């Protein structure tokens, strides 16, 4: 059985940018920047790729040794798990091919190990005034009782 991971969508919000991914954890107020190959790994996690698929596809794409890629990905996945940004699922749902990752990695030609950068400098502010969901009525609106 191959372990895959899924993003904890109820806990975080994220945006995939051209060269990185920015995440905000609403439970802790921390925000993160995923850079280098971390962006591609995050996109593969979105597709619920297994760890084995991630290693194989990234090693093929960047023409690197699977052992090196594997160590880097395992370390990065461990960081994501420790920060509770992802959670394991029983089995990978998707079978991905190199063409799937080519779309993901089109801007990134060189392999640079994944990096998770964590910031807590606005933590107090985010926890005091969390981001609110806005309805058609606008915000703030008092709830009708």
* Local confidence pLDDT in tens for the 145 residues of the chain: 678 999 999 889 999 998 899 999 988 889 999 999 999 999 999 988 999 999 999 999 899 999 999 999 999 999 999 999 999 997 666 677 666 665 665 556 789 999 999 998 776 666 665 555 545 655 555 555 5
Prediction pTM value = 0.79
Count the Cβ atoms, other than its own, within 10 Å of residue 118.
14
pLDDT of residue 127: 61
Task: Locate 52 and state its tokens.
Answer: 């084995």
Question: Would you say 126 and 39 are in contact if contact means Cβ atoms under 8 Å apart?
Answer: no
**CA–CA gap between residue 18 and residue 15 (Å, rounded):** 10
pLDDT of residue 6: 93
Domain ranges of the chain: 4-128
pLDDT of residue 104: 62
pLDDT of residue 145: 53
């Amino acid at each position: 059985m191959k372990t895959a991971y899924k993003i904890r969508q109820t806990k975080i919000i994220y945006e995939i940018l051209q060269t990185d991914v920015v995440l905000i954890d609403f439970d802790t107020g921390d925000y993160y920047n995923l850079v280098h190959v971390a962006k591609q790994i995050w996109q593969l996690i979105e597709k619920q790729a297994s760890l084995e698929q991630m290693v194989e596809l990234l090693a093929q794409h960047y023409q690197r040794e699977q052992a090196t890629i594997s160590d880097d990905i395992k370390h990065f996945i461990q960081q994501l798990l420790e920060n509770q940004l992802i959670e394991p699922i029983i089995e990978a749902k998707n079978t991905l091919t190199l063409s799937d990752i080519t779309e993901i990695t089109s801007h990134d030609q060189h392999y640079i190990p994944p990096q998770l950068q964590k910031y807590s400098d606005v933590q107090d502010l985010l926890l005091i005034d969390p981001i609110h969901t806005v309805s058609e009525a606008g915000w703030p609106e008092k709830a009708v009782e």
